[in-house]
Amino acid sequence: MTALKIFAPGGFTTVQDRGRFGFQQMGVPVSGALDLFAFQVGNLLVGNQDTCAGLEITVMGPKIEILKEMDIALTGAKMAMTLNDKPVEQWTSIRVRPKDILTISMVQQGCRAYLAVSGGIKVAKVMGSYATYVGGKIGGFMGRPLQQGDILETHGAVLLKIPRALPRKDIPKYPTHALIRVICGPQDHYFDMDASPLLGTPYMVTTKADRMGYRLQGRAVPIKENMPKSIVSEPAMPGSIQIPPDEQPIILLVEQTVGGYAKIATVISTDLPRVAQTTPGDIVQFEKIDLASAHRLHREETQKFRRLKAFFG
């Protein structure tokens, strides 16, 4: 059933889910929501399954006409939102009805917001996922970002009996100076890690920052004299920090599978949302941690999410 009519699409709005898995060996990147925490909390707030799709909204929000009664929630980056010109809160469920007008404005903090809707956005699954892979023109709504006039459907769903709101203490902050933890490697042997400026000096996010990757600017990260300037091409994990010939780091994200440059370190999975919430001009600073600490943080994140799930019942 039709649910949302797009009056204005915003900066860059795509249908996303948790990602497309199982096809990376064929060169199909995972795609999916970049800030998985915010995205998944959105589904929780409207009573959805984990597998439901929502909208990823970048920098500038869309204006949407509501076509059916449902619960919605906006999570992630801070963007002012109004329903029929009245301000409404983020990180909380809101009941909307046909003819309501939802307007989401310019970002105030962070970069990407997530709109969850009851039942999830209904689009054809492509290779097991709803996620839009813009570069490959597949998934989501016609394999592309939303445009003016698009009409989206949602799956049927039972609406909430009582509204849900994320406890204030659990709402993440998105600072313009983000501390990002990394694990060294896979090609840390190409670099003098003790002297590398990557760890310790600040880097600025440039305007070349999208779902494929974030180009950073700061002190040059040289490869050791005796090492080659590139590697035999190999797949890269989201969060890999690769060093191209200009020696300025690039954080690879979810729309790329193979890279040919040495990867000095990899952002831990827990901190990927922090990267995704930085915008051009923001500062990132990398800090090295060991695998056991990263796994402890990963467990804590999982537990936090389980606790929230239990909280909402």
Binding residues for other proteins, rule: CB under 8 A, are 21-28, 126-127, 135-138, 183-187, 232-237, 239-240, 257-258, 263, 266-270, 291, 294-295, 297-299, 302
The number of residues in the chain equals 313
Query: DSSP of 70-93, one letter per residue?
Result: EEEEEEEEEEEEEETTEEE-SSB-
Chain-centre distance for alpha carbon 137: 18
Separation between Cα atoms, residue 62 and residue 102, nearest integer Å: 8
Select 221 or 272, whichever has its Cβ closest to other proteins.
272
- Which tokens is 98 given? 């046909």
Query: How far is residue 156 from each of residues 97, 113, 230, measured CA to CA in Å?
Result: 15, 23, 50
Q: Specify the DSSP element, H or E, that contains 222.
A: none
Q: Specify whether the CB–CB gap between 184 and 264 falls below 8 A.
A: yes
Longest distance between any two alpha carbons in the chain, whole Å = 66
Cis preceding-peptide flag for 186 (omega within 30 of 0): yes
Q: Specify whether the CB–CB gap between 127 and 28 falls below 8 A.
A: yes
At 126, give phi and psi (nearest 5°).
Answer: -115, 120
Q: Specify whether the CB–CB gap between 117 and 71 falls below 8 A.
A: yes
Kindly state the DSSP code that residue 211 receives in the 8-state scheme: S
